[in-house]
Amino acid sequence: SLRSYTYDRSGYRNSELSPLEPTAENIALELSLLIKNAPIENPLILVGHSWAGVLISEFIALTGNGPHIAGLVLVDANHETAPLVLDVNDPNLLAIAEGVDFYSGNGVAAEHKLTQEEWDAFQSDESTEKYKLAAHKEDEEQYAPSFETLRKKELSKKQPILGDKPVFVIGSLRSRDWTGLYNAGVERGNGTEEQRSLVRELIRTADDKSESLMKEWLKISTRSTLVFARESGHFIQLTQPDFVVDGVKWVLDQSQTS
């Protein structure tokens, strides 16, 4: 039988805030200690979304490509070069989206596949002061510098860092999120005409840039594949979760045939 695990990073849900600053390196360290000390059998298929692309990369840099890793499922995961190609915190986009409910604006509130009970729990978790503090520390203080810290490790010169272990990459249509946030923001009267024009251009080029970043992930292993969830923005696990399930199944199948 197979078991699946989720864990709460320090500061989220059932986990206390860490005495360490939530750098990507420290988060990877804490994950490695959890896996070492918890009664969890290896090897593991690591499934990561968004910033977890950086966290998983730091985890591999820390622990090496050992027998504890069976493969990866990367869900619109941030590649180390992402901010150099596509700025998800573009100030003009943030200005236009100001005051817009994030999950309503990007369509997730209407399109998610959670039950009502699950959605209520999801929103409840994100409304706590502890969550807001942890998210602020990560998003405002650690997110941007984490990419440069990771690039300095020059993992790109050591590819494929996972050898021939199976890696399933899922890309999204970033333009879906940003178009929704743009339209909702414009409806509120947000942004100057110049800002709106710049954001429209950002949206126009977003999907091509995002696709180029997803293709970079394929270099991590000689056995990697890329699919796109074309009815989803960034939050694929909420709007098209079957893609994530299919990714895990693919990694399992590949692992068993190797």
* Cβ neighbours of residue 193 closer than 8 Å, sequence gap 6 or more: none
d(CA 78, CA 193): 30
43: cis peptide before it, omega within 30°?
yes
At 143, which amino acid appears? Y
What DSSP string runs through 67-99?
TTEEEEEEESPPPTTHHHH--TT-HHHHHHTTT
Q: Does the pLDDT value for residue 258 go beyond 80?
A: no
Q: What confidence tens digit (pLDDT) does each residue in 70-100 have?
A: 999 999 999 999 999 999 999 999 999 999 9
- CA dihedral sign, ordered 246, 252, 257, 258: positive
Q: Is 107 helix (H, G, I), strand (E, B) or coil?
A: coil
Q: What confidence tens digit (pLDDT) does each residue in 163-202 have?
A: 999 999 999 999 999 999 999 999 999 999 999 999 999 9
Q: What confidence tens digit (pLDDT) does each residue in 30-64 have?
A: 999 999 999 988 899 999 999 999 999 999 999 99
Q: What confidence tens digit (pLDDT) does each residue in 208-254 have?
A: 999 999 999 999 999 999 999 999 999 999 999 999 999 999 999 99
Longest Cα separation, the chain: 57
The domains found in the chain, sorted by start residue, are 24-257 (3.40.50)
Terminal alpha carbon distance of the chain: 19
Q: What pTM did the predictor assign?
A: 0.96
241: cis peptide before it, omega within 30°?
no
> Which of the four pLDDT bands, split at 50, 70 and 90, describes residue 1?
confident
